């Protein structure tokens, strides 16, 4: 079943802060334990831009970005048994090896399977080499184990979540990152209970997914915080009960939330901005005695969080989440089923659609405009 090299189009990020360029590349066949997929649709996540803009300490160039995609298996490498040619899959940057020896896969407490994390962070496949060559035959790095800004890509078998082939890949791709992360932060990482009070900082796709998850969990008060007031209309539609623009306050937003809007703070708060000052506000607006604050946003290289330890001494808990704590191969297919049976509506996240791999640059522009939640690029 192992095929020949494929020539196709891909967006190559040549250097930080430089627009990506469409190039003809060669995608080598999958090696043992790997799967080559045809990418049908890819949505842009803020993290792609963060790496493209040079803020990622693990950012390597030249590379092929992209990690929120819907794909069809084109060929499989030696030993691959869990997917076959023609299967529909969502590549997952948090893999799930399911080995009995993997303490992370065996624990219900975490989804952070480390099986291929080290090579993934170095832009390589698990055997330490790459599957992408440019037109001069030079190597191009992988990204987050996905590299879905290419018509074809190669991923590890343990990164493939096999989904219902009847699901629309142009929608289901969103479960590859942002939506799953926001929902899972609420349901898995924080386990928000009915009647909880919640504050969500940053109302992009991730923040909106947090609001949606909190509403589904039965939260009684959901405070949406953003410096862009245009975000509030959708926040309210999805369940926000209050909206706050911190720039219009004359006191710190955490004092406004814990003091004026609530007596002692919120039960749960979420940072969906990646700004370390916002992370501090989110922690400090959490309820004295038990408030939990969850970091979702990814901070730029060199940025660190701080607060007075007194905030923790007096019972607040600071935690974080990767991919919303979902075990990817087990849980993503279930999320897709829930979308198909109407239990999780995600249509409102797709604000823009573009065609062709080159449409990725229009998606980048759209995400920068502040009006975009998710731009889906259909290849």
- Residues 95-154 within binding reach of ligand AHE (CB under 6 A): 117
Annotated active-site residue in 8, 23, 47, 51:
47
Residue 65 touches which member of ligand NAD, Zn ion, ligand AHE, none, C-beta under 5-8 Å by kind: none
| Six token digits for residue 278 | 């916002």
Instruction: Check binding of 226 to ligand NAD (CB under 6 A).
Output: yes
CA distance 266 to 245: 17
Site map (CB under 6 A) of ligand NAD, residues 173-192, x = contact? ----xx--x-----------
Stretches 107-115, 192-200, 311-319, 320-328: which one binds ligand NAD (CB under 6 A)? 320-328
Task: Find how far residue 174's CA is from the centre of its chain.
Answer: 9
47 labelled catalytic = yes
**Residue 338 designated active-site:** no
Residue 67 bears catalytic tag? yes
Catalytic residue status for 177: yes
Residue numbers at the binding site for Zn ion (CB under 5 A): 45, 47, 177
Print the binding letters for residues 341-370 with ligand NAD: x by CB under 6 A, - otherwise: ------------------------------
Cα 151 to Cα 21, 357, 366, distances in angstroms: 14, 7, 21
Residue 331 binding target from ligand NAD, ligand AHE, Zn ion, none, CB below 5 to 8 Å by type: none
Q: Contact between 53 and ligand AHE (CB under 6 A)?
A: no
Short-list 214, 153, 140, CA closest to 29: 153
Q: Which stretch binds ligand AHE (CB under 6 A): 15-23, 55-63, 332-340, 366-374?
A: 55-63
Q: Which two tokens stand for residue 261?
A: 């809007």
Binder to ligand NAD among 41, 45, 286, 336 (CB under 6 A)? 45
The site that binds ligand AHE (CB under 6 A) totals a number of residues, namely: 10
Nearer to ligand NAD by Cβ, of 308 and 368: the residue is 368
Catalytic residue among 36, 55, 67, 88: 67
One of 42, 47, 189, 311 touching ligand AHE (CB under 6 A)? 47
Residue 30 or 178: the one with the smaller Cβ distance to Zn ion is: 178
The pair of three-digit structure tokens given for residue 72, joined into one six-digit string: 């069809």
Is residue 97 annotated as a catalytic residue, yes or no? yes
* 177 vs 219, beta carbon nearer Zn ion: 177
Q: Does 96 bind ligand NAD (CB under 6 A)?
A: no
Among ligand NAD, Zn ion, ligand AHE, none, what does residue 117 contact (CB within 5–8 Å per kind)? ligand AHE
* Contacting residue, 34, 56, 151, 157, with ligand AHE by CB under 6 A: 56
- Output the CA angle 70-75-78, nearest 5 degrees: 125
Rounded to 5°, angle at Cα 241 from 245 and 221: 110
Of the residues 63, 92, 105, 173, only one is catalytic, namely 105
37 lies in the site for ligand NAD, by CB under 6 A: no
**349 φ/ψ angles, rounded to the nearest 5 degrees:** -75, -25
- Binding flag, residue 174, ligand AHE (CB under 6 A): no
- CA 310 – CA 150 distance, rounded (Å): 48
Give residues with Cβ within 8 angstroms of 7, minimum separation 6: 24, 25, 26, 27
Residue 329 catalytic? no
Q: Cis peptide leading into 62, omega within 30 of 0? A: yes
Only segment of 33-41, 50-58, 188-196, 339-347 that touches ligand AHE (CB under 6 A): 50-58
- Residue 286 within binding range of ligand NAD, rule CB under 6 A: no
Residue nearer to ligand NAD on the CB measure, 163 or 294: 294
What are the angstrom distances between the C-alpha of 235 and each of 201, 207, 229, 352? 11, 9, 10, 18
The residues binding ligand AHE (CB under 6 A) are 45, 47, 56-58, 117, 177, 298, 322-323
Enzyme catalytic residues: 45-47, 67-68, 97, 102, 105, 113, 117, 177, 374
């Amino acid at each position: 079943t192992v095929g020949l090299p494929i020539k196709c189009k891909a967006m190559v990020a040549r250097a930080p802060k430089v627009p990506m360029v469409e190039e003809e590349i060669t995608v080598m066949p999958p090696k043992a334990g790997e799967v080559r997929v045809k990418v049908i649709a890819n949505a842009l996540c803020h993290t792609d831009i963060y790496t493209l803009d040079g803020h990622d300490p693990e950012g390597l160039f030249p590379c092929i970005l992209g990690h929120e995609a819907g794909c069809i298996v084109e060929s499989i490498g030696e030993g691959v048994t869990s997917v076959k040619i023609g299967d529909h899959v969502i590549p997952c940057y948090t893999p799930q090896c399911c080995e009995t020896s993997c303490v992370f896969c065996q624990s219900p407490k975490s989804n952070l399977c480390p099986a291929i994390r080290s090579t993934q962070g170095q832009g390589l496949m698990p055997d330490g080499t790459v599957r992408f060559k440019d037109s001069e035959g030079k190597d191009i790095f992988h990204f987050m184990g996905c590299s879905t800004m290419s018509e074809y890509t190669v991923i590890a078998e343990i990164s493939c979540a096999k989904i219902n082939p009847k699901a629309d890949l142009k929608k289901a791709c969103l479960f590859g990152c942002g939506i799953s992360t926001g929902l899972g932060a609420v349901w898995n990482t924080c386990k928000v209970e009915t009647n909880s009070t919640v504050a969500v900082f940053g109302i992009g796709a991730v923040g909106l997914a947090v609001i949606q998850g909190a509403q589904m969990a039965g939260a009684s008060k959901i405070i949406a915080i953003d410096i862009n007031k245009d975000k509030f209309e959708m926040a309210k539609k999805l369940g926000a009960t209050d909206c706050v623009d911190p720039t219009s306050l004359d006191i710190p937003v955490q004092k406004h939330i814990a003091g004026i809007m609530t007596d002692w703070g919120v039960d749960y708060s979420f940072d969906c901005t990646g700004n370390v000052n916002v992370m501090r506000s989110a922690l400090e607006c959490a309820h004295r005695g038990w408030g939990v604050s969850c970091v979702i946003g990814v901070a730029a290289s060199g940025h660190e969080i701080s607060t007075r330890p007194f905030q923790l001494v007096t019972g607040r808990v600071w935690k974080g989440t990767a991919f919303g704590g979902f075990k990817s191969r087990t849980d993503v297919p279930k999320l897709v089923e829930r979308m198909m049976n109407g239990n999780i509506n995600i249509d409102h996240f797709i604000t823009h659609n573009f065609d062709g791999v080159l449409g990725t640059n229009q998606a980048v522009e759209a995400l920068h405009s502040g009006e975009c939640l998710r731009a889906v690029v259909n290849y």
